[in-house]
Amino acid sequence: MKRSSTGKKKVFLKKAAAALLACVLVIGITGCGSEEPVQEEGKEDVTVTEPKVAGTEEALAMACEKLGVARADITYYEVEHEVDDNLLCYDVTVVLGDREYELVFNEEDGSVVEGPEEESFDEAGMVLTVPAADAIQTALKHAGLSIEQVDLYKVMLDEEHGAPVYELEMKKDSEILKFEISAEDGTVLQQSTGIDR
């Protein structure tokens, strides 16, 4: 039996398509195992490195080292992870007695971007006879707590009726404790509690 020319073309096209498909599969399979990365033209090769500063505790430890103080000497601290001039940074605020220091560390290489900047709580000319550390201890004692039981996250010196007053906020679990303590004699002027939601 003789095939028509149309039938021969169909068989030839089917064989050609099968051969082409086989070539594509072979090239695709052997190309998939390639160990060399394919880089798109015009794109830069990006290397991902581990950050030098790996968290808030490490940023705090670096601040202590830069300031030459022990962690136990700190009466209050705050660490914020933020972007500063297009750099991922840790902004560390440390209170030592009546002095506050701020340092900013580059997360990637651990370098100091800013600081240490020092500020005294008594710059406004107010007479402080009670250091911030003592005010914190007074608030804790008044609340019946120890420093280990709370997250201290705000100590601020303010002026009320011409007298210096520490405003403290502490958090225990979901409860927020607020105190106003005289910076002249250490008395608790006001205490309130609230719930953190």
Tell me the residue range of the domain where 69 lies: 56-120
Nearest 10 degrees: CA dihedral of 35, 36, 41, 43? 90
Q: Which of helix, strand or coil describes residue 35?
A: coil
Residue 10 lies in a domain: no
Question: What is the pTM assigned to this prediction?
Answer: 0.44
The pLDDT assigned to 173 comes to: 85
Residue 71 lies in a domain: yes
CA distance 101 to 108: 22
| Domain count within the chain | 2
Q: C-alpha distances in angstroms, 104 versus 63, 76, 80, 125, 157?
A: 9, 17, 9, 28, 23
The torsion angles phi and psi of 142, rounded to 5 degrees, stand at: -60, -35
Question: How far, rounded to the nearest angstrom, does the alpha carbon of residue 76 sit from its chain's CA centroid?
Answer: 17
**Residue 182's CATH number:** 3.10.450.40
Q: C-alpha distances in angstroms, 173 versus 7, 150, 186?
A: 82, 8, 26
Residues 71 and 111 reside in one and the same domain = yes
Residue 148 lies in a domain: yes
Tens digit of pLDDT per residue, the chain (197 long)?
455 555 555 555 455 455 545 544 445 554 544 455 555 565 555 554 566 666 778 888 888 888 888 887 787 778 888 887 788 888 888 877 767 788 898 888 888 888 877 766 554 556 677 877 888 889 999 999 888 888 766 788 888 887 888 888 888 888 899 999 998 889 999 999 888 76
Out of 120, 147, 176, pick the residue that ends a domain: 120
Residue 17 lies in a domain: no
CA distance 182 to 160: 9
Residue 24 lies in a domain: no
Beta bridge partners of 177: 170, 193
